[in-house]
A and B are shown apart, each in its own frame.
Chain A
Amino acid sequence: MTSATNVEVAQPPPAAPGGTVVPTTRLRVPSRWSFMLRRLGFYLAAAWAAITLNFLIPRMMPGDPSVAIIQQLQRVSGQQLPPETLVSIQALFGNPDANLFEQYLAYLGRLARFDLGTSISRFPTPVADVVSSGLPWTLMLVGSTTVVAFVLGTSLGVLTGWKAGGRLDAILTPASTFISAVPYFWVALLALWVFGFQLDWFPSSGGYDPDAQGVAFWVSALRYGFLPAATIVFSAFGGWLLGMRNMTVTTVREDYVLLAQAKGLSPSRVVLRYAARNAMLPSFTGFALALGGVIGGALLTEIVFSYPGIGYLLYDALTKRDYPVMQGVFLLIALTVLVANLVADSVYVLVDPRVREQG
């Protein structure tokens, strides 16, 4: 994989703080780049697949979504649609007069101009506007909860794995086995019932106080977002904990951990630098798998709390048969997940130097 062009492009790495000169340094650097380039290539291909899937789904469905959408739009607006809208809908959802390849080109052309069609339930707002209004809320909610759940689950996993068979392990491990099997939206319902209605600690629906301005708006957003975020963290951290616990149990019995202990290193250094760093690798690999589940769960959580993110938009679109919004939400989620995975892969390269060597 060490092609000549890559060697020229790659910058020499900063000298390692340890000061040891490794003769293979010049070979290693291009492989790190080639690893990242190959991942980037894969995610570009995946993005293309998501876009194409988004193109194929309405065309493979029984009936003719584009005709249904146009009829609905005419009913909602009460008038003949402007020709530009008709062209847009047919490009996105199927045009019986054009062959599939022509349709595909027209569809890609529409996407390149960020034209995702017109919302039926919020006529005449373009789908792109509807969807992008929900995106920041979901990104904040899912982003923050994913990070918190990962950090919390992983650190508790190290603790329980290090003292496997101890008291903490005896309580936390079965508890998280149970928690990670519970449906997200059911936890959200329970939390809403207990904390929203019984105790009345938190607002029960919405994402912010509609009357608040400026700083008060941000404070209200935090207050409204706390309960949804807490339920997602609660449902998600168990999975990380279990994976990390089992990897730690396996790792602490490796010879190099024994050696680190024999050298008289402090227990915290042995746990964090020797055991945990190695045990964490599968968690990063599992990120792709976990993220899909977290997103799906978060969508449902948003519905329970009527949180103004894209999950609630999707629900709204499903109940009102707003196909353009449905498709727009899917495309957005798919592309966001791909970007998040690319970020996770980049972090992986930093955490595990072996990836750079193998290329």
Chain B
Amino acid sequence: MPSSLWSNPKVRFGLVVVAFFTLLAVLGPWLTASVLGLDPRANDISAIASPPSAEHWLGTTQFGQDVLAQLVAGARGSMFVGVLAALIGTALAIVFGVTAGYFGGTVDNVLNFVTNLFMVMPVLPLIFIVSGYLRGTGLWMIAVIIGVFGWAGGARTLRAQTLSVRNRDFVLGMRMLGESHPRLIAVEVLPHLVGWIASMFLGALIGGILAEAGLAFLGISDSGAISWGSMIQAAQSQSAVLRGLWWWFVPPGLCIALIGTAAAMINFGVDELANPKLRAGTRRVVRRTRRVERAVAAAEGGAA
């Protein structure tokens, strides 16, 4: 499976981009500080709101801060919130989804009801309100709130998958041998859900980054922390749009879009691998089919 994953161009593109941003988040701030000698918070008074130049590759903000250094620092902030929110959200989705699907009956009814409630609840406004009360808390708290309110979609998927796995022969067999429920879930059921959980985690990561950006845009964020969302918010509050300082608000949004696209590409590619009918719709396969059809037609024409 891993080698076939890598052979799909969509998955390959997505993995490379996600890996790039992960590296950027981990090593980036150190690199910009030591190699380029840039500090995302330093104010260069000689260059206020200046467009991209040799000295400041992506220009500077209204406060004379280097946009590139901010972008790299923002990668760490945004990725941190995304990863933590995704970890919490995925854990909750596993607890709710797998438990509901495995045990069924009343447990399922109750858990599924809770899941559906969280599905139809407008999560983003809810997060706004709660973080509005908890103003001034750090990125930690924001990530926790995003994770706690954003697990329902994943739980629904996992429940459906667990339902199908739990009735397969190998699970029933181990149950008859007297395995305990926790062990059955951990050893027999969960390994079959790893693919789903991985793709859910990726989706939750992007959701977390987007939600954090939205919150920061509303002014709900740690005032000391730099994230892509807080960059756009700072640009908006300094009327960068009105004054045409595009280099300030375009790059952070582009980064969010790029990493979001990467995650969507991976999911898309995984879908293609799991569903052969989808694979028949890729450009490469369609071209190959046409070529074969033409060759057959030519051969028949030649024979006649």
Contacts and interface: CB of A to CB of B under 8 A. Distances in A.
Contact of A180 (B246, B264, B275): B264
B210 A183 contact: yes
Contacts of B261: 177-178, 181
A285 B129 CA distance: 27
B133 A323 contact: yes
Interface string B276-290: 011011110111000
Given A181-B261, A249-B278, A293 B124 contact: yes
Interface stretch (B39-47, B79-87, B98-106, B211-219): B211-219
Given A177-B268, A318-B218, A292 B122 contact: yes
A341 to B, nearest CB: 5
A284 interface: no
A182 interface: yes
Given A165-B285, A334-B125, A337-B122, A185 B232 contact: yes
Interface string A166-204: 100110000001101111011001101100111000001
B214 A197 contact: no
Given A253-B277, A292-B122, A333-B122, A192 B117 contact: no
Contacts of A288: 119-120
Interface residues of A, number: 66
Contact of B217 (A166, A300, A334): A300
Contacts of B253: 182-183, 186, 189-190
A13 interface: no
Nearest to B265: A177
Interface in A246-305: 246, 249-250, 253, 288-289, 291-293, 295-296, 299-300, 303-304
Given A170-B283, A186-B232, A61 B133 contact: yes
A182 B257 contact: yes
A326 interface: yes
A162 to B, nearest CB: 10
Contact of A169 (B116, B125, B218, B281): B281
In this complex, the member of A161, A182, A317 whose beta carbon has the largest number of chain B beta carbons within 10 angstroms is A182
Given A185-B232, A192-B241, A323-B133, A296 B280 contact: no
A183 B264 contact: no
Contacts of B271: 246
B281 to A, nearest CB: 3
A193 B249 CA distance: 10
Interface stretch (A50-58, A114-122, A210-218): A50-58
Contacts of B124: 292-293, 295-296, 299
Interface stretch (A14-22, A41-49, A126-134, A147-155): A41-49
B51 interface: no
A78 interface: no
A183 B258 CA distance: 11
B198 interface: no
Contact of B125 (A42, A193, A299): A299
Contacts of A104: none
B259 to A, nearest CB: 8
A61 B125 contact: no
B134 interface: yes
A189 B281 contact: no
Contacts of A348: none
Contact of B130 (A57, A192, A250): A57
Interface string B46-88: 0000000000000000000000000000000000000000000
A169 B120 contact: no
Chain A interface mostly helix, strand, loop or mixed?
helix
B167 interface: no
Contact of A165 (B119, B132, B281): B281
B225 interface: no
B107 interface: no
B275 A165 contact: no
Nearest to B282: A165
A285 to B, nearest CB: 10
A345 to B, nearest CB: 10
A23 interface: no
A318 B216 CA distance: 12
Interface of A: 42-43, 45-46, 49-50, 53, 57-58, 61-62, 65, 161, 164-166, 169-170, 177-178, 180-183, 185-186, 189-190, 192-193, 196-198, 204, 242, 246, 249-250, 253, 288-289, 291-293, 295-296, 299-300, 303-304, 314-315, 317-319, 321, 323, 326-327, 329-330, 333-334, 337-338, 341
8 contacts: A50-B121, A189-B253, A197-B242, A250-B277, A289-B119, A296-B123, A333-B125, A337-B122
Given A186-B213, A293-B124, 10 more contacts: A46-B117, A57-B129, A57-B133, A183-B213, A189-B241, A292-B120, A295-B124, A299-B125, A315-B218, A323-B132
